[in-house]
Each structure stands twice: as structure tokens, then as C-alpha cells.
Chain A
Amino acid sequence: MAKKGELGRVWDYVVNTQVWRSVMRHGYPDTPRNRSLAVLANLILHLHPIRLRKSGLRVRYTWCMGGLTFFLFLELTITGLLLMFYYRPTAEYAYNDIEYLRADVALGIMRELHRWGAHAMVISVWLHMMRVFMTGAYKPPREFNWSIGVILLVLTLLLSFTGYLLPWDQLAMWAVTVGTNMARATPVLGHEGPGASLVVVPYAEGAGTISVVHQASDVRFGLLGGRFVGAATILRFYVLHCVGFPLIAAFLIALHFWRVRKDGGISGPL
């Protein structure tokens, strides 16, 4: 379809050059065929179907919350990557690096974008879950995708929680202390958990027993890399925050999106 006017002619010329055609593989999406191709032939857009129900398009129906959550995940990945340039996850450097970031780095709103984005993502995940629940979108055939979504919700909280420690200020250290203190009460696996005192091995004949689950061997010790929140904990949380959880989350997000498509697209009345 030819566009009108001088600008339109330039536009027509550009979208018909060999370079443009080689990148886009189809004409400008202004005909149904090219619009379908725009979605089909594009790596990112092909997450979408070609057509969808009009009811599934309405913002009042979807609240745009799933998309917003994914957007925030990408935003947090990018800002997090930039923050990694300035941050060293050790007890000596961590706090000073953050101070430097906020005092001396030009246009330094990366940490703000990262922190507020993380808060926003926690909220948008909850609201996405609420929307899915309120529209019965977890019902067959979408049961398994709901379960993946629950795991992604937990991962979001874990990502936020591991990130909470990294500024290494009083807020970070004590919030994580309060949070991980729970782990010492894990049944059997925590040294103050019910049943932990029953896990013992005999010391020698007639010489009593040694407990297996104690302060320096229980699940909290494994989580923190020590008996207290300290240098080893920063490294552990940093690795989980920057590599471990994002990788798992990225895989599950891909699975989540794939299943949305395979389970019949965005939910709608039967």
C-alpha cells in the first residue's frame, strides 16, 4: 500500500530497500498478510498468536499485569547488569560500592530503578495471580501453567529477598537475619526445629550420642554459609540473585509463555 505525500514516498522507499527487506522479511504490516507475517517472522513477537479474542485484548480484563511483570523482569535484568559493573559482593567493598554508586556515578538512578522495579514486580505478580484467579483462568487445561506461575511467584520473592541483602546496610543485614532465622526452626533440618534433637549418631559404646543437626550443620548454616549473616552470605546471595534464580526464572517464564499458547491462548469464555 503506497503512502501519500513526500514523507510517505520516503517511507515507501525505505521499507522497500534490500536492507529493510532482509531484516524484516516482509513488507510493512499494513495488510492482513503482512500483519500476520510481522508476528510470525519475528523472534520476539512470535511469542504471540496471530489473532486473539477481543475479550482477551481488553485491559479491564487482563489488567496487563502478566506483561508488566515480564517487562519488569527485563528491566531488572538490564539495570541489575549495569549495577554489577560497580558492585563487589564482599563484606569490605559492598557498602562502599553502593555509597559510590549513589554519590559519584553519573545519572545514577540505576539503583533506584532496580529497587523500585523490584518492589513493583512483587506487587504486579500478586495482581497477575489475582486476575488469573478471578477470571477462572487456572481451570483445565491451564492447571499446570498455574502451578508454574506459583513457582515463579515464589522465585520473584526469593529474588527480591536475596537482593535485599546486597546493599549490606543495617536494613539489609537485619531483614535477612529475621528472614533466615526461620530456617533454624525447620522440622528435623534446623537445629531448633522439632525433631532435630532426635537425629543422633552413637559416639562410642556406652558413651552417649552426638547430634547430627546442630548450629554448624543445619539448613540455616547451609543457606548463610556460616552461623550468622556475614561475608559468606553476601557471596551466596549474590550468586543466587544474579545467576541462580534468574536462570531458573527465565527458563520457567519461557515455559509459562509456551504453555499459555499451547493451552489455548489467553483465557476466554467457552
Chain B
Amino acid sequence: MPLFIKEFLNNFFNPTVYVVISIIGFVVMMATYRVWTKPRIAMGLLALMVLFFIASWSDPNFNKIVTKPDNVPIVSLVFILGFFLWLSLRQAAINDERIERGEPPREATEANDRVLVWPDLVYSELICMVIFTAVLVLWSVFIPAPLEEPANPGKTPNPSKAPWYFLGLQEMLVYFDPWIAGVVLPTMIITGLICIPYCDKNPKGVGYYTLKERPFAITTFLFGFIVLWVTLIIMGTALRGPNWNFFGPYEKWDVHKLETLSNVNLSEYFWIHLLHKGLPEHWFARELPGILLILGYMFVMPPLLAATVCRKMFQQIGFLRYNIVILHLIVMAGMMIKMVLRWTINLKYIVFIPEYFFNI
């Protein structure tokens, strides 16, 4: 790959650009799912991805990250997830066209055909097992499991990263304190997932792929899974280096890279920049604007939304379900809002009460 492209990409990418591009990519992907899933276009996209990897392969910095044994699953996740996204949305596109023509989805034409488990299912399970055993054995023979130096509590590696599947949460530590990024958000991911079947009252779309019949459910789920979970994992693995600084895909991980940090709290914005006064002494007076903002976001906005934009949803699923759904959605949106505020106005905390370790 020519040097000027590499330098352009290194300078072009930063967390803001990365996240914004992944969101735009996601929106385009969902909006044009009937177009890009056509086999020829999808093959073209795959070819582009492979081409990108081949062209980047010779770059020592890129190569070092991609070929690290523990990163093999993450690199393959890019391709595997791409494939299964294609597979599900392709089938959704086919079914949605059938439904528009008044035909049943493809799965429904076979639903009443019953086949015997022995031999049909048992054999395909066996084949799957054999193939995957072979894959695992080959993977294990060719890539030895790494072992670093013995554990040493006196020597902190830089960067220190959590296990790869938690890197999205570690990324959130940039924008939130640990009690939110490490406790509240994971808890809400779990409760949110558990609540899905109890809150989704749409009876359509059981047992076949479709997007048109459940646009809201599928878009929300895929946004959470792909944009907020997987792309942040990829960023945390490949683009976050020493001191958790952001590095371009071809950039050397320089321990001495400096990034200016001049983050400002909301209270300072409000009292000093806006009112030209000093910060009030008592924490409650000082943080009142932020507290009101958070309370408004958490407790005033849901009823307002229920009366306006989300009126139909509120009527369909009722008071309790609506509140559960909206609570999880506004926390999800809150993550994005805090990220945007950090990028645009360097906002550090909306509420900053170090006295009680309560910072948002």
C-alpha cells in the first residue's frame, strides 16, 4: 500500500471518526440491506475487505497486531460476523420481497415438512462436529498458545488491556467512571437482553428472517451488538495502544505519544464560563445544573417521549414495558451523547461529586 494512503489513514482516523464512520456504515447497511446483500455485491465487499488485509499485510505495525495469536479470533470475527450479517439480512431481503408479493416467507413453505432426526439432523450435527474438530486441531497445531513473562505485580504493562471481549467496556472508561462503565452498563446489558422477549409485543417474525416486519427490534439489537459491542472491541484491540491512546492502523505504538487533555466539567462551564462567578462551595449547589440535567434526561424525557414521538409504542406495550424499554434505550443513547460531548466540547463530567465518588 502506498505510503501516502497509510499516512492519510493514520491521520484521518481518531476515535471520533472511527465511531462516526461505524454508525454511518451501520445506517447505510440497514437502509440498503436489499441491495448490498445481493450475492455479487456482497462478494465485491468481501473482496474489498480481503484486498485491504492483503495490501496492509506487509506493514509491520499492522501485521504485528493482526498476527498476534490472541488476536486471531478478533480478526476472524470481522469476517465471520460480516458473513452472518450477510446471511441473515440476505434471507430477510428475500423473505421481505416474498411478503410484499403476498407470499409466505421461504421457511414457511417447509414448515410442515417433517423430517426424521435420524438420519438427517444427527448426520448434519456429526458433520459440523467433525469439521469443527478439524478446524480446532489445525488452529492449535499451527498457532501455539502464547505465554508471556511470569506475573509480576511490580511491572504494569502498557497498555494493560482487559480480556478482548470486555474491550468495549474498557473503551467506555474513557468517557465514564468505572462505576458506570464497569458496573452499571454491563448490568444493564444483561437486564436489557433478558427483558427483550417480555417487552417485544410484536407477534410477527417468529421462525423466519425478516427486517420489514420488525424494523425497530432488529435495528436496535444490531446497533447494540455490532456498533456498540463489536466495533468497539475491534477498536480496543487494534487501535488502542500505550496509555490507551488512539493509534492509526499503520502507526507505531509509541509509548511517548502525548495527547492533550483539557477536559472541563459541566459545573465549570456553567458557573465560570456562563455566569462568570466562582464555583459554589457546597457540592450540591455546585452540581445542581448537572443534577437537574440528568434528572430531566432520566425522568422527564420518557413521559415527554411517550406523549409525542413514542406515543404509538407506549400505547402498544403499556406503562411498565415502555418504561423498561425507554430506560435501557436512553442509557444506550446516553453513552453516545457523552462520547459526542467529550469530542465536541471536551466535557469531562456532567455531575462531579468526588466527595461520594459519584461522577457521571
Contacts and interface: CB of A to CB of B under 8 A. Distances in A.
A142 B197 contact: yes
Interface residues of A, number: 101
A5 interface: no
A67 B140 CA distance: 21
Contacts of B102: none
A137 B206 contact: yes
B242 to A, nearest CB: 13
Interface stretch (B23-31, B123-131, B269-277): B123-131
A105 interface: no
B201 to A, nearest CB: 9
B97 interface: no
A116 B208 CA distance: 32
Given A143-B197, A192-B178, A32 B163 contact: no
A223 B165 CA distance: 20
A126 B218 CA distance: 15
A215 interface: no
The A interface, classified by DSSP as helix, strand, loop or mixed, is helix
A252 interface: no
B178 A269 contact: no
Given A119-B73, A192-B357, A230 B198 contact: no
B73 A112 contact: no
The B interface, classified by DSSP as helix, strand, loop or mixed, is helix
Interface string A24-41: 000001001001101100
Interface stretch (A12-20, A168-176, A204-212, A243-251): A168-176
B146 A160 contact: no
A196 interface: yes
Contact of B356 (A64, A99, A116, A198): A198
A67 B117 CA distance: 14
B208 A183 contact: no
A38 B119 CA distance: 10
B115 A160 contact: no
B207 A135 contact: yes
A269 B206 contact: yes
A193 B84 CA distance: 40
Given A39-B118, A134-B218, A182-B183, A54 B113 contact: yes
B118 A35 contact: yes
B141 interface: yes
Given A51-B116, A116-B136, A196-B357, A134 B92 contact: yes
A109 B200 CA distance: 45
A51 B122 CA distance: 11
Contact of B197 (A54, A130, A131, A138): A138
Interface of B: 70, 72-73, 76-77, 80-81, 84, 87-88, 91-92, 104-108, 110-122, 124-125, 128-129, 132-133, 136-137, 139-141, 143-153, 155-157, 160-163, 165-166, 169-170, 177-179, 181-184, 190, 193-194, 196-198, 200, 203-210, 214, 217-218, 221, 225, 355-358
Nearest 5 CB-CB pairs, A to B?
A: A182-B182, A112-B140, A185-B178, A143-B197, A173-B151
Given A119-B70, A120-B136, A169-B148, 20 more contacts: A29-B118, A53-B110, A59-B124, A71-B132, A75-B133, A98-B147, A113-B137, A122-B73, A134-B218, A137-B206, A150-B190, A150-B193, A160-B165, A169-B151, A170-B155, A181-B182, A182-B182, A186-B179, A192-B179, A269-B105
15 contacts: A52-B115, A55-B111, A57-B115, A61-B91, A122-B165, A127-B81, A134-B209, A136-B208, A147-B197, A157-B166, A169-B148, A173-B152, A178-B170, A179-B166, A193-B183
